[in-house]
Amino acid sequence: MSNLIIFTLLTFAALPLFSQPSPQQSPSDWMLAFLDVETTGLTPGYHEIVNLGIVLSDLEGNEKSRILLYLQPNHPDRATPEAVAINGFDLKLWKSLRAVTPQKAVDSLVSFYKTQTDGKRVLMVAYNSQFDAAFMNHLFREAGRNLSEIHYYFVLDVPSMAWILGLRDLKANEIAKKFKIPATSSVPIEHHGLGCADLNIRLYRELVWLTRERSHSR
C-alpha cells in the first residue's frame, strides 16, 4: 500500500474526531468529566483500579451527576503498602462495599454516561491526568471496550491550568489551601475517587473565576 493511500485513510479516519464543533464554538454540546482513580500501585497494566469517582458538569463546572464505584482487582496481591496506606484497600472491606468486577465497572460506566450526558461529547478532567487516563485506558481495553465510548480524545489537566496562573504547588491539597476550600481526607477509607474528583471540580471553578478576574483587571 502506498504512502499516499495510507495517509488518506488515516486522514478520513480522523475526520469524525476533528470535524466536530469545538467547545469554543458550541459549548452546550460538551460536558466535563472530573475523574479520579485510586489504585493498587503506580503501574498501569500491572496495578489496578480499586475505586473511581466521576463528577459530570457543564463547561462552567455546574454539576449534573456523579458516581463512585468500588472495583475488586484481579490481582489484589500486587497492592503496594504505599497505595493501601492512601486508599485503605482491603479485600474483605471492599466486598462489604459491594465492589464489582472490572468488567461490570466498565459496563456501569458506559450505562452511566449514556443516561447522564444526553449524547454530548465529554472531556475528561483529572489531576495529573496522564495517571488516571492510563489506568482508565487499560481498564477499558481489558474489558474489550474503548475509552472513546465515553470520553473525547483530548484530556484536560487541573495542575496544568493552575501552573499557567502561577499556582505551582503541584499537590492538590496545597492549591486548595490557597483558595480556602476543603482538601481531601487523609483517612484511608475516606480517601476515594469521588472525594478527589469533587476537589478537582471545586479547584476548576476557582481557576475559572481567577482567570476571569485577572482578565477583567487588565
pTM beyond 0.85: the answer is: yes
φ, ψ for residue 33 (rounded to 5)?
A: -120, 100
* Span of 8-17, 106-115, 206-215 with lowest mean pLDDT: 8-17
SS3 of residue 163 by DSSP: helix
Cα–Cα nearest to 170, from 179, 158, 180: 158
> Using one digit for the tens of pLDDT, what is the confidence trace for 159-202?
999 999 999 999 999 999 999 999 999 999 999 999 999 999 99
In sequence order, which residues have a C-beta less than 8 Å from that of residue 70 and are 6 or more positions away? Answer: 50, 51, 94, 97, 98, 99, 100
Delimit the domains of the chain by residue range: 29-216
Q: Residue 7 carries which side chain, given as an amino acid letter? A: F
Q: What is the mean pLDDT of residues 125-136?
A: 98
Architecture, CATH, for domain 29-216: 2-Layer Sandwich (3.30)
DSSP 174-192: HHHHHHT------SGGG--
8 A C-beta contact, residue 27 and residue 59: yes
C-alpha cell at 214: 485577572
Average pLDDT, the chain: 93
Strand runs labelled E in 78-186: 121-126, 155-157
Q: Which distant-in-sequence residues (6+ apart) come within 8 Å of 125 by Cβ?
A: 32, 33, 34, 35, 155, 156, 157, 158, 200, 201, 204
Structure confidence at residue 16 (pLDDT): 56
pLDDT in tens, 2-30: 554 444 444 444 445 566 799 999 999 99
